């Protein structure tokens, strides 16, 4: 995978990337914060093995529906989650307690992803989208506990769902996302997507609800969590 597609240099190239599933390294923007880079590995896990892994994780992971808080209002997350890692992790005012007992399949996947990407991870947020109505809203993985320029490796298993991204507007737009650049990436069974550089600082992402029937999807998001200074609150996403 030697080709690097520098999306921000060429508006036509950005148009072609707005819905992609092609393997490659995509540099989708550059700003004073840095370069935002996406690495896409379709068929990172071959279909037969991915089927077996999907079944194991659906059965064995202690999935739980959690209550989040946004703008002072509590809500049930429209998906199930589980956490693995030596440290706790807080987002949307939900604190996932430490869970150092990794499932063997998850440990195997972590090692394989680390070997193929050159990155290391110490934590994992697992998501189970039960059907087409489960989703995650616009957010960035930019909690202080993830450090500067966090790297997120996201492995998809099960039903294909569309992963959408949108560029954060400049300050003078006062949070208006109407005309920002947007990207859609269908994430198929066994696909690995890695977000690097300034992606979390400069972009948001989501998995929206679908309007036609979808089966279950497991999404494994590997990351590195650091100990936070006492009293530091993770920002709400």
With pLDDT > 70 as the criterion, what percentage of the chain qualifies? 87
How would residue 19 be classed by pLDDT, with cut points 50, 70 and 90?
Answer: low
Q: Which among 128, 126, 134, 124 has a CA at the least distance from the CA of 80? A: 128
pLDDT tens across 95-145, in order?
999 999 999 999 999 999 999 999 999 999 999 999 999 999 999 999 999
Choose the weakest-confidence range: 4-13, 144-153, 180-189, 222-231: 4-13
Q: Report whether pLDDT(233) > 60.
A: no
Place of tokens 């400049």: 170
201 by Cβ neighbours in 10 Å (0-12 / 13-18 / 19+) ranks as middle
How would residue 16 be classed by pLDDT, with cut points 50, 70 and 90?
Answer: very low
Strand-strand pairing, 192-197 and 152-158: antiparallel
233 by Cβ neighbours in 10 Å (0-12 / 13-18 / 19+) ranks as exposed
Average pLDDT over the chain, rounded to an integer = 89
The count of other CB atoms within 10 Å of the CB of residue 112 is 14
With pLDDT > 90 as the criterion, what percentage of the chain qualifies? 78
Choose the weakest-confidence range: 20-24, 137-141, 159-163, 230-234: 230-234
Q: State the Cα–Cα distance between residues 234 and 221, nearest whole angstrom.
A: 18
Q: Mean of the pLDDT values across residues 154-179?
A: 95
Q: In this predicted structure, what is the pLDDT of residue 237?
A: 32
pLDDT tens across 57-105, in order?
999 999 999 998 888 889 999 999 999 999 999 987 889 999 999 999 9
Q: In this predicted structure, what is the pLDDT of residue 71?
A: 81
Which of 150 and 231 is assigned the larger pLDDT?
150
Give the tokens for residue 191.
Answer: 């696909």
How would residue 6 be classed by pLDDT, with cut points 50, 70 and 90?
Answer: very low
Structural domains of the chain, with CATH: 44-223 (2.60.120.590)
Q: State the Cα–Cα distance between residues 132 and 123, nearest whole angstrom.
A: 27
The count of other CB atoms within 10 Å of the CB of residue 229 is 7
164 close to 182: Cβ distance less than 8 angstroms: yes
Quote the crossing angle between the two packed helices 47-60 and 104-117, to the nearest 10°.
140
Strand (E) or helix (H) holding 108? helix 104-117
pLDDT tens across 29-39, in order?
999 999 999 99
207 close to 136: Cβ distance less than 8 angstroms: yes
Q: State the Cα–Cα distance between residues 235 and 237, nearest whole angstrom.
A: 6
Q: Mean of the pLDDT values across residues 207-214?
A: 94
């Amino acid at each position: 995978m030697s080709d690097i597609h520098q999306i921000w240099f060429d508006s036509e190239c950005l148009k072609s990337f707005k819905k992609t599933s092609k393997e490659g390294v995509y540099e989708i923007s550059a700003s004073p914060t840095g370069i935002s880079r996406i690495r896409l590995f379709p068929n990172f896990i071959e279909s037969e093995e991915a089927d077996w892994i999907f079944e194991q994780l659906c059965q064995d992971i202690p999935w739980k529906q959690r209550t989040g808080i946004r703008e002072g209002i509590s809500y049930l997350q429209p998906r199930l989650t589980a956490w693995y890692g030596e440290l706790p992790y807080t987002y949307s005012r939900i604190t996932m307690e430490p869970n150092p007992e990794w499932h063997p399949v998850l440990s195997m996947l972590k090692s394989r992803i680390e070997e193929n990407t050159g990155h290391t991870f110490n934590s994992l947020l697992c998501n189970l989208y039960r059907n087409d109505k489960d989703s995650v809203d616009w957010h960035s993985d930019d909690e202080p506990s993830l450090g500067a320029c966090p790297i997120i490796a996201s492995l998809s298993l099960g039903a294909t769902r569309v992963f959408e991204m949108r560029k954060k507007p400049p300050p003078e737009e006062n949070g208006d996302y109407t005309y920002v650049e947007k990207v859609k990436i269908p994430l198929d069974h066994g696909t690995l997507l890695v977000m690097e550089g300034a992606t979390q600082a400069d972009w948001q992402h989501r998995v929206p609800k679908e309007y036609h029937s979808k089966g279950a999807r497991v999404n494994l998001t590997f990351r590195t969590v650091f100990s936070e200074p006492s009293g530091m609150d993770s920002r709400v996403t």
